[in-house]
Amino acid sequence: MTTTAQSLSSLLKSARDIMRKDKGLNGDLDRLPMLTWIMFLKFLDDLELQREDEAVLAGIKFRPVIDAPYRWRDWASKPEGITGDELLGFINHEDTILPNGEWGAGLFNTLRTLAGSSSDGQDDRDDRRHVIATVFRGVDNRMKSGYLLRDVINKIGGIHFTSSDELHTLGALYESMLREMRDAAGDSGEFYTPRAVVRFMVAVTDPRLGETVLDPASGTGGFLVEAYRHLSQQVKTVADRKVLQEESLRGCEPKPLPYLLCQMNLLLHGLDAPRIDPGNALRFKQRSGASRKSWGTFSACWRRARHEF
């Protein structure tokens, strides 16, 4: 069952209205990051459930990225689940009583240490673990009321991230929230390129499928989202889609909040595994191999842009 655009908009508005009642949050610069990490965990669990079903059909063993009891389905999916101080303790504390009644590491503490924790060799989970760990090292739960937080979680539980139509609608709604946050950020010395300028620049550079677009200062991912849309119109085959998903977009964003927002923005617009480096793009010396490789991926589109201008 999917949710209509009107229902999704109402759902997100209700979640934000609930957040306005919490004394730990102050404005959209606080509320949007909170909403984003909650949606991020719901998105991951929906994706894991889908992959688990696919593994069963293929007759192969499924190995989750996040283990119980830290998956969304274990602690968040039931509306009558843990709430109040118990919920805050589970999320915030380094060690706490878990939803299954056992004593163990808290949710954020666990997620922040996911990278490199697999014991059965390297596989594609390691990249996803690293992304999750990087995301949650840069965010905190700032809500003071565990009861209001439970209400927000229950609202987000109504989103179905496995529905392509719903993802498309949610992506548009999320963009509108990002615009509101960007407007608020301008008052604190942070400025984001207007979407009309982003679209113009992508149209002028005209990246082609097979080239790699690098945004070394990704921010919330606006340029990469527009580049993804531009390149997706060139996809004709399954092989083309693989190129688009795995080889076409790269980014760098060292600030934790924009990194989280960028990840979520790209996921909602259809990129299965965003490749955003959480480091500073200028940390390599110009003559180093890493620097040449990074900037080399950008050169084709940059040469095209210089020619057009």
CATH number of residue 70's parent domain:
1.20.1260.30
296 occurs within a structural domain: yes
Shared domain check, 264 and 149:
no
Shared domain check, 220 and 117:
no
Residues 90-100 as b/e (b if ≥16 CB within 10 A, e otherwise) read: bbbeeebebbe
Range of weakest confidence among 56-70, 101-115, 228-242, 281-295: 281-295
Shared domain check, 203 and 146:
no
- State the Cα–Cα distance between residues 182 and 36, nearest whole angstrom: 15
Shared domain check, 146 and 13:
yes
Helical H segments across the chain, by residue range = 5-20, 28-58, 72-75, 84-92, 107-112, 125-137, 146-156, 164-185, 195-205, 222-232, 238-247, 256-268, 289-308
Shared domain check, 141 and 233:
no
Return the SS3 of 251. Answer: strand
168 occurs within a structural domain: no
> Per the structure block, which two tokens stand in for 58?
């293929």
- State the Cα–Cα distance between residues 99 and 117, nearest whole angstrom: 22
Under DSSP, the state recorded for 95 is E
Shared domain check, 114 and 235:
no
129 occurs within a structural domain: yes
Q: Which has the closest alpha carbon to 213: 192, 228, 196?
A: 228
- The amino acid at residue 298 is F
CATH number of residue 245's parent domain:
3.40.50.150
Shared domain check, 207 and 110:
no
- State the Cα–Cα distance between residues 169 and 192, nearest whole angstrom: 23
163 occurs within a structural domain: no
Confidence at residue 3, expressed as pLDDT on a 0 to 100 scale: 59
Q: What is the mean pLDDT of residues 238-245?
A: 94
Shared domain check, 211 and 82:
no
Confidence at residue 189, expressed as pLDDT on a 0 to 100 scale: 55
Question: Which of 128, 156, 184 is where one domain is finished?
Answer: 156
Q: In the predicted model, is pLDDT for residue 99 greater than 90? A: no
176 occurs within a structural domain: no
Q: In the predicted model, is pLDDT for residue 304 greater than 50? A: no
Question: Which of 136, 156, 176 is where one domain is finished?
Answer: 156
Do the beta carbons of residue 44 and residue 73 sit within 8 Å? no
165 occurs within a structural domain: no
Q: In the predicted model, is pLDDT for residue 27 greater than 70? A: yes
Report which of residues 204 and 296 the model is more confident about.
204
Domains held by the chain: number: 2
Shared domain check, 149 and 14:
yes
Shared domain check, 104 and 32:
yes
Shared domain check, 202 and 119:
no
Shared domain check, 230 and 123:
no
Q: Tell me, yes or no, if the pTM score tops 0.95.
A: no
102 occurs within a structural domain: yes
pLDDT tens digit sequence for 116-149: 544 444 455 567 888 889 889 888 999 999 999 9
Q: Indicate the pLDDT class of residue 307, thresholds 50, 70 and 90.
A: very low
Q: Domain span at residue 211? A: 192-308
218 occurs within a structural domain: yes
- State the Cα–Cα distance between residues 300 and 248, nearest whole angstrom: 12
